[in-house]
């Protein structure tokens, strides 16, 4: 039996992340954060048939009088829209949700972001409980309080900071996750080691097989440690005025790749987010080495670990370095003084570096 990991997240609205196998059937854990008489279970068409009945049954066992409704939407990033957000609010209205109602987000980051934003807005803010079912959602999107939907003009352009009331991660839910989604989440796990702790990279190097096999104990520890790294930086800088930006290691390059490919990851015609971040982290590490900041051996080590997880580590063929550079200039992370990157001094020690010359960036991109 794998013990439950609990990560306490501090700040103005503290909450706990609980991680263990079997939590989606655990009446007491699921019902503990619910305050009122109503709950809206939000999920997508892939996840709901797998897990929604179990969650609903556990809630009904634990609190027989609870009014529960479901809002199940089609899966995918292109559904993270204002229109679906509006439908989710309509479902809250249909439920007769009052200020003490709870939104329960059962799914990956798309569901967590959209349901969290609906909770942030309904009656100016009600509780959301996150039940993440992708590794990415467990280690990243369910923690930290950012919620959002996309607009046709860009990702995550409308949203709010709205911390969850609780996060409950059942590691067994990952057994049904497609391999590619698992690997995407592992890229974000590696990211925490790259930014904050070379010792965590050692730990990951010794557990590649267990993590790829979705071993509950290995996954639970990886999730707990990742949440702790994210929590520490979010507690220091909840609104991303400073250190929280470190979490964007690999993301300036990664976003440029995703945008340049037209977010074709879902169809297999391009990299998904985690894959793009894997490539982006290697590029950031190479750029750090070329700028004389960090040893090239650390970039080699990062690349080797990502490769063992089955992640891409080089720019996909056909992407033009100059086009990527132009994308990065447009990215909101580029400020007036020039391109700003998260680079590292060595594995486990990242920092913000401003005014990185275009020539160095193009060099790292191989252009």
Binding site for NAD(+): residue ranges?
A: 109-113, 133-134, 146, 155
Instruction: Supply the minimum distance, in Å, between the C-beta of residue 315 and ligand NAD.
Output: 21
Identify which of residues 87 and 358 has a Cβ nearer to ligand NAD in the complex: 87
Nearer to ligand NAD among residue 218 and residue 233 (C-beta): 233
Which listed residue (5, 183, 221, 248) is catalytic? 248
List beta partners, residue 15.
Answer: 9
Specify whether 87 is catalytic. no
Q: Contact with ligand NAD (CB under 6 A): which of 25, 27, 77, 232?
A: 77
Active-site position among 255, 286, 327, 340: 255
- Cβ 214 to ligand NAD, closest distance in Å? 11
Identified catalytic residue from 244, 286, 327, 340: 244
Contacts 24+ apart (CB under 8 A), 90-97: 91/40, 91/42, 92/40, 92/118, 92/122, 94/69, 95/38, 95/40, 95/67, 95/69, 96/38, 96/67, 97/38, 97/40, 97/122, 97/123, 97/126
Q: What is the DSSP letter of 338?
A: B
| Residue 258 touching ligand NAD (CB under 6 A) | no
Which one of the listed residues 56, 188, 221, 260 is annotated catalytic? 188
Scanning residues 80 to 139, which ones bind ligand NAD (CB under 6 A)? 80, 107-111, 113, 133-134, 136-137
The reply on whether position 176 binds ligand NAD by CB under 6 A is yes
Shortest distance, position 164 Cβ to ligand NAD, whole Å: 10
DSSP state of 45: T
Report d(CA 231, CA 238) in Å as an integer: 9
What are the binding residues for Zn(2+)? Answer: 188, 251, 273
* Alpha-carbon distances of 275 from 29, 43, 176, 235, 298, rounded to whole Å: 33, 24, 20, 27, 19
Minimum distance of ligand NAD from residue 111's CB (angstroms): 6
* Footprint (CB under 6 A) of ligand NAD, residues 302-341: none
- The reply to whether 259 sits near ligand NAD by the rule CB under 6 A is no
Contact assessment for residue 280 and residue 194, using Cβ atoms and an 8 Å cutoff: no
Whether residue 124 lies in the annotated active site = yes
Q: Contact at 8 Å (CB) between 73 and 84?
A: yes
User: Percentage helix, strand, coil, to 5, in the chain?
Assistant: 50, 20, 30
Active site (annotated) includes residue 180: no
Quote the least distance from Cβ 210 to ligand NAD, whole Å.
Answer: 19
Q: Has 146 been annotated as catalytic?
A: yes
Choose which of 130, 141, 248, 303 interacts with ligand NAD (CB under 6 A).
Answer: 141
Q: Helices 296-308 and 198-205 meet at what angle, rounded to 10?
A: 40
Q: Which residues partner with 343 through β-bridges?
A: 351
| Run of H or E including 84 | helix 82-95
Cα separation, 169 vs 367, whole angstroms: 42
- Asked if 181 interacts with ligand NAD (CB under 6 A), we say yes
Sheet strands (E) in 141-209:
146-151, 154-161, 166-170
Strands 38-44 and 102-107: parallel
Q: Is 322 a catalytic residue?
A: no
Tell whether residue 146 is a contact of ligand NAD (CB under 6 A). Answer: yes
Q: Detail the residues annotated as belonging to a binding site.
A: 109-113, 133-134, 146, 155, 188, 251, 273
User: Which conformational region is residue 198 in: left (phi greater than 0), alpha (psi within -120 to 50 degrees), or beta?
Assistant: alpha
Q: Which residues contact ligand NAD (rule: CB under 6 A)? A: 44, 46-47, 50, 75-77, 80, 107-111, 113, 133-134, 136-137, 140-141, 144, 146, 155-156, 173, 176-177, 181, 184
The residues annotated with a catalytic role in the active site are: 124, 146, 188, 230, 240, 244, 248, 251, 255, 273
């Amino acid at each position: 039996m794998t013990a439950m990991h609990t990560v306490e997240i501090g700040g103005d609205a503290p909450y706990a992340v609980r991680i263990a196998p079997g939590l989606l059937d655990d009446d007491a854990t699921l019902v503990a954060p619910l305050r009122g008489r109503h709950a809206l279970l939000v999920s997508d068409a892939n996840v709901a048939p797998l897990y929604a009945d179990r969650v609903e049954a556990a809630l009904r066992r634990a609190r027989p009088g609870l009014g529960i409704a479901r809002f199940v939407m089609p899966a995918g990033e292109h559904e993270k829209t204002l229109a679906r957000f509006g439908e989710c609010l309509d479902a809250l209205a249909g439920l007769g949700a009052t200020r003490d109602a709870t939104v329960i987000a059962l799914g990956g980051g798309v569901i967590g972001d959209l349901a969290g934003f609906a909770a942030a807005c309904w009656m100016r803010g009600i509780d959301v409980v996150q039940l993440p079912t992708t590794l990415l959602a467990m280690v990243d999107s369910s923690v930290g309080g950012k919620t959002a939907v996309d607009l046709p003009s860009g990702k995550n352009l409308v949203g709010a900071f709205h911390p969850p009331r609780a996060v409950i991660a059942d590691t067994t839910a990952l057994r049904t996750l497609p391999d590619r989604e698992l690997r995407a989440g592992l890229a974000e796990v590696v990211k925490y080691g790259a930014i904050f702790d070379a010792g965590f990279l050692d730990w990951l190097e010794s557990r590649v097989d267990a993590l790829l096999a979705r071993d509950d104990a290995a996954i639970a520890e990886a999730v707990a440690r990742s949440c702790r790294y994210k929590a520490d930086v979010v507690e220091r800088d909840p609104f991303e005025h400073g250190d929280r930006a470190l979490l964007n290691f690999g993301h300036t390059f990664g976003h440029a790749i995703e945008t340049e490919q037209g977010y074709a990851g879902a169809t297999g015609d391009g990299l998904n987010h985690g894959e793009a971040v894997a490539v982006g982290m290697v590029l950031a590490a190479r750029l750090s080495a070329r700028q004389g900041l960090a040893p090239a051996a650390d970039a080699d080590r990062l690349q080797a670990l990502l490769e063992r997880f089955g992640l891409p580590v080089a720019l996909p063929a056909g992407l033009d370095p100059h086009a990527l550079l132009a994308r990065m200039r447009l990215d909101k992370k580029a400020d007036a003084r020039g391109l700003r990157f998260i680079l590292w001094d060595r594995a486990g020690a990242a920092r913000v570096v401003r005014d990185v010359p275009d020539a160095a960036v193009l060099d790292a991109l191989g252009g």
